[in-house]
Amino acid sequence: MKQPMQSLLEASTEEPARSAKGKLISERHGKLLYQSEKPDLSIQEFSTNGLEEGKKRSRSRDVNALRNEISCYLFEYLEGFRIPTHFVDGLTETQMLVRRMEVIHLMIKIYNCATGVLTKRFGLKEGTPLEFPVMEHFYMPENRPAAWVNEYHVYAFGIAKAEEFKQINRSASKVNAVLRALCDRRQLMLADLQLEFGRLKGQVVLGDELSPTTCHFLDLAVSEKEGRDRFHPDQENAVSAFSELRDRLKSRV
């Protein structure tokens, strides 16, 4: 029996388990997922694994702390719009408590303006506004590169059922609309974003993270177009840029 959306959202108000991380469950996209003391909850940690000690590792730790903080804020913000997510609570600077879900190996990419591969694929100029958001789907199996797929692939390969696919698209569209509106009021543009979902008690819920790693923000407060793309994790000034982005997203306007 499907659990109604309201019950999942209300569950997030329960006092979370403040437990130490247990066994490592998985590692993907710069994040580690650990068991917690409760079988239905996990600890998601933004990782600096693979980096040697020193300035680069310290900078990466600061960036990961900001990825976590921005993600926590945006997940909570979305749940205020009745969008179910895996998020429960923030734990430490680089950890959040999440509901354990069955990952759907499908990444949703939404473009609000022409960026990246979309410009090359269709011969569009970088930053060209789109009259309607473009949604693409990518199959992301474990340990294999992502593959661009359509609805027929999704059903033929058993990636998701028809009703799940509809839920994913509806939720992704709503996430995009809510975050775009948030950005519009703060002189930011959400140029594109990528989303991942999972199954939880008969529902499709938003997972992964919501940070500049998965959301492409442009700074409209910068007059020169070439200077607007300034919120990238691999930039030298990523810590200061992410800090500014966090403050602007959280600001009351």
* pLDDT at position 56: 61
DSSP state of 240: H
Residue 87, strand partner residues = 98
* pLDDT at position 224: 83
Question: What domains sit in the chain, N to C, each tagged with a CATH number?
Answer: 5-99 (3.30.200.20), 102-250 (3.30.470.20)
Residue type, 58: S
Q: What angle do CA 136, 244, 226 make, to 5 degrees?
A: 60
- Our separate counts of H helices and E strands in the chain read 6, 11
* pLDDT at position 234: 78
Residue type, 30: G
Taking residue 183's Cβ as centre, other Cβ atoms within 10 Å add up to 20
* pLDDT at position 59: 72
* pLDDT at position 5: 42
* pLDDT at position 74: 98
**What is the DSSP code string of 109-132?**
EEEEE--THHHHHHTPPTT-EEEE
Nearest to 35 by CA among 107, 95, 79: 95
* pLDDT at position 236: 84
How far apart CA 235 and CA 78 sit, in angstroms, is 28
**What is the DSSP code string of 163-178?**
HHHHHHHHHHHHHHHH
In the sheet that 41-46 helps form, which strands lie side by side, from edge to edge? Answer: 24-28, 31-35, 41-46, 95-99, 87-92
Q: What angle do CA 3, 215, 128 make, to 5 degrees?
A: 120
Per-residue pLDDT of the chain (253 residues; tens, 9 = 90+): 334 444 444 444 444 545 578 999 998 888 999 999 999 999 999 986 644 454 565 678 899 999 999 999 999 999 999 999 999 999 999 999 999 999 999 999 999 999 999 999 999 999 899 999 999 999 998 888 899 999 999 999 999 999 999 999 999 999 999 999 999 999 999 999 999 999 999 999 999 999 999 999 999 998 887 789 999 887 888 999 999 999 999 999 8
The residue assigned the tokens 């007059």 is: 223
Residue type, 131: E
